[in-house]
A and B are shown apart, each in its own frame.
Chain A
């Protein structure tokens, strides 16, 4: 299973980016054979529809599972339609989030836990 974690930097020691649609990077690995690849998120610079754009990118890369902090309704709709599993509430570093997932500590979500545009302005409120 190919798994993607939203991240603030391009290493497994980088912090998990709580924002899905406007995260800086994705750390991608196979669940069975840990081998990390880091990609810049094209959605970070989208004028609008960032979550949708980001989700399309993960669909194109044949990702099957996403770990993130918060995700909005449009992005969730795309991932659900594509059959991609979404686990929310990930925190700490990429490595820690991967461990949280492996230890069953993250919640499988089917609905959004963020409002549209929440990730604008680095997620500050």
Chain B
């Protein structure tokens, strides 16, 4: 079972819920926590894994053999991301724009382009109190994170209860993390901004054909707008967490919700069970 925790709006509580969900179910399941928010992985702050392995993740970028190149311009023509420029007598390559599709190498009539490995980040893993913990960390300055997110997802353990913490928004990194999930929890807050981005995120999981449900975090009891949206779209409202200063204070200290409020354990277990029932498997 692979459950992705996404949100649309940032700061709604994805990591709070992902980490506590992992802690809540770890006695019943073999749990693996994968942090797919590779631009700022923060699950480790709460789960405190002991990292025991680290590996480099690379992508292939074009390397031009100028002695074979005739400067015909075909590679620059077909590059959808404008990562190559052909000048009379030179070829410029903008590695940070390259999406490693290999098109330039495929279409070069002179076979003057070969792949070169470029490091984009790392995967780090270890154990966190019985939880298998994996995170991706994007190298500073790298713009294209989906290949790293894919590499993190490739580490999923078959048969495990896999919980993926996803970055906010609905752009490529989020899509890459959520695609193929058996279920997606969308965490929102009862603000106009929270609802607006929830609508976008819901549209995204529909496109991806990933079943999903909503968790309202920091509920102040006035959740009518989000509730109405869920009802209209037929999307299950799974759970609510209250607006609580105490939860925020402990979050800021790096303490998981569940360690401070163990009374949430039962509800988190039933949240997982609901996701399992409604999920694809």
Give residues in A with beta carbon < 8 Å to B: 46-50, 52-53, 55-56, 59-60, 74, 77-78, 81-82
Contacts and interface: CB of A to CB of B under 8 A. Distances in A.
A8 B4 CA distance: 45
Contact of B94 (A49, A59, A60): A49
A37 B167 CA distance: 47
Given A49-B97, A52-B85, 11 more contacts: A47-B81, A49-B83, A49-B94, A50-B82, A52-B82, A52-B94, A56-B86, A59-B86, A60-B73, A74-B97, A81-B92
Given A74-B94, A77-B92, A56 B85 contact: yes
Interface string B127-149: 00000000000000000000000
Nearest to B90: A81
Interface in B74-123: 76, 80-83, 85-88, 90, 92, 94, 97
A82 B97 CA distance: 20
9 contacts: A47-B80, A48-B97, A49-B82, A50-B82, A53-B82, A56-B85, A56-B86, A60-B73, A74-B94
Nearest to B91: A81
Most-contacted residue by chain B among A52, A77, A78 (CB, 10 A): A52
B86 A49 contact: no
Contacts of A59: 85-88
B257 to A, nearest CB: 37
Contacts of B73: 60
Interface of B: 73, 76, 80-83, 85-88, 90, 92, 94, 97
Given A49-B94, A60-B73, A82 B82 contact: no
A52 to B, nearest CB: 4
A78 B81 contact: no
A46 B85 CA distance: 14
A55 B86 CA distance: 10
Contacts of B86: 56, 59
Given A47-B80, A77-B92, A81-B92, A55 B85 contact: yes
B104 to A, nearest CB: 14
B69 to A, nearest CB: 15
Contacts of B85: 52, 55-56, 59, 78, 81
A48 to B, nearest CB: 6
